[in-house]
Amino acid sequence: MWAWLTRLIGRERRPRKPIPDALWQQTLAGCPFLETLASTELIRLRELSALFLEDKEFHGAQGLHITDAMALTIAAQACLPVLHFGAGDRALRWYDDFVGIVVHPDEVVAQREVVDEHGVVHLYEEALAGEAMHEGPVMLSWHDVTSASSETGYNVVIHEFVHKLDLRDGVADGCPPLTAGFVGQPSARAARAHWLATLQTAYDAFRAAVIKAERFGSEPTWLDPYGAEAIDEFFAVASEAYFVNRARFAREFGTLLPLFDAYFRPSR
């Protein structure tokens, strides 16, 4: 009720209950890549995380008990992609299409069904570390949440919440909604074309590197090879690395750095 009312009258909502110092320090210790944030960014992240916790409902699956520390660990990482998307709770409006976050102890095996070009139905199983659905909940594996690493560029929370940004226009295509003026483009359509062209070039190169590593024994890619599955997965996988190890991301994906900076840090 309070969140809805403050948005209706245009006020910036502030957390009703601040995050305790001990709990926040524990979260920072468990997510060392957050240490690269400026002090002002950490203050903002703490406020945004508190608002996130007020808005979302956490559900433990398979008997998993969600503690305050677990919920905050997820919240802080989920808020990273939208950290610079506006004051108050405006940033969290990018996540207002869902409420529930379901956390499993480990990967979930999902039953999949695809129809090929001949109309033949193929059934298969897929192990999921996380999943984000358009206008639906987010699913996460707690084991994978705790496996976040700056060394490997892996972060399942950031991955799934970047998918949420990508899905804001209803299509998982690796391009979140953009506006006229983005990187100097005259229209939203031009901004989208520029984004997709830049991302596609990087994706094609990454996919080629993955194929060489898997088929011919070349050096494995730094990023998770899963990013070669589709361009939307590449966007999510690349975003993980951008946030947890920006320095190496800049070295390996120099063409994407200004694009991601313009999107994820528009106020800087």
**Complete domains list, the chain, with CATH:** 1-172 (1.10.472.150), 173-268 (no CATH)
**pLDDT over 90 (residue 16):** no
pLDDT band at 138 (very low <50, low <70, confident <90, very high): very high
Contacts of the segment 199-203: beta carbons below 8 A, 24+ positions apart: 199/174, 199/175, 199/231, 199/234, 199/235, 199/256, 199/259, 200/231, 201/255, 202/234, 202/238, 202/253, 202/255, 202/256, 203/174, 203/227, 203/228, 203/231, 203/234
**pLDDT mean across residues, the chain:** 92
- pLDDT single digits (tens) 18-33: 999 999 999 999 999 9
- pLDDT single digits (tens) 83-135: 999 998 999 999 999 999 999 999 987 766 666 676 766 676 678 899 999 99
Query: What pTM was estimated for this model as a whole?
Result: 0.91
